[in-house]
Chain A
Amino acid sequence: EAGVAQSPRYKIIEKRQSVAFWCNPISGHATLYWYQQILGQGPKLLIQFQNNGVVDDSQLPKDRFSAERLKGVDSTLKIQPAKLEDSAVYLCASSHSFRGAKNIQYFGAGTRLSVL
């Protein structure tokens, strides 16, 4: 079974530039998550999709972050414009569903973003 694919692995940009990350979840997984992980901390949920609908985006800074999940499969996360404090690893995860035992999440390797 192929895992969660993310690209790019690394990205360096200057503040006020824009950046986009891509995620391809495990085939058949209905739920997709984007997390932000700052160095030394645990992952923080940014947005959660069930198929192509948003389940939870309460912690997404909507003035600069946006995400979409086209056709309920691939997803992109965009930051525009980036700030220094956005430097972090952005993790994508997927699961069969979002409750109970089906909420076991499978993570990609992440994209490490450095904002200079």
Chain B
Amino acid sequence: SQQGEEDPQALSIQEGENATMNCSYKTSINNLQWYRQNSGRGLVHLILIRSNEREKHSGRLRVTLDTSKKSSSLLITASRAADTASYFCATETSGSRLTFGEGTQLTVNP
């Protein structure tokens, strides 16, 4: 069964706007990661946040983690057409398996 669930399933915005994607999970985690997948390609790691961290930044990306609510959000600021992709959250549990959610399809219109 999938551990993480992303919301929304699809998001369409204009270039320059911010995009926010959410991820909820069910069990305790060691860390949570976000990956991007361009159409027809493999996944690319974006950012990792540990269970004892609340917020992390990387360039135009901001990730938050609320372990009490078992949720995370990924914010992409000043979006570009090149950000168009599917975004997946993945949780690592004590069993060490990385479990991926269903993904959010982001479309950034020029």
Pick the contact of B99: A45, A55, A107 (CB < 8 A): A45
A45 touches B97 (CB 8 A): yes
Do A106 and B45 contact each other (CB < 8 Å), given the known contacts A99-B30, A100-B30, A100-B31? yes
Chain B residues with CB below 8 A from A99, complex form: 30, 92, 96
- Name the interface residues of A27-84: CB closer than 8 Å to any CB of B: 33, 35, 40-45, 48, 55-56
Pick the contact of B43: A48, A56, A107 (CB < 8 A): A107
* Cα–Cα distance between A103 and B43 once the two chains are bound (Å): 14
Chain B residues with CB below 8 A from A108, complex form: 42
Q: Is A109 on the interface with B (CB-CB < 8 A)?
A: yes
Chain A residues with CB below 8 A from B103, complex form: 41-42
B-side interface residues, number (CB < 8 Å): 25
- Residue on B with the closest CB to A97? B96
Chain A residues with CB below 8 A from B33, complex form: 103-104
- Residue on B with the closest CB to A59? B97
B42 touches A109 (CB 8 A): yes
Chain B residues with CB below 8 A from A2, complex form: none
Instruction: State the 7 A-B residue pairs at the shortest beta-carbon distance, nearest first.
Output: A107-B42, A42-B100, A107-B43, A43-B100, A104-B45, A98-B96, A109-B42
The 24 sampled A-B contact pairs (Cβ below 8 Å) are A33-B98, A42-B2, A42-B102, A42-B103, A43-B43, A45-B97, A55-B96, A56-B96, A56-B97, A91-B42, A93-B43, A99-B30, A100-B30, A100-B31, A101-B31, A101-B50, A103-B92, A103-B96, A104-B48, A105-B45, A105-B98, A107-B42, A107-B43, A108-B42
Residues of A within 8 A of B (CB): 4, 33, 35, 40-45, 48, 55-56, 91, 93, 98-101, 103-110
Q: A100-B50, A103-B31, A110-B41 are in contact. List 10 more A-B contacts (CB 8 A).
A: A35-B100, A41-B103, A42-B2, A42-B100, A99-B96, A101-B31, A103-B33, A105-B98, A107-B42, A107-B43
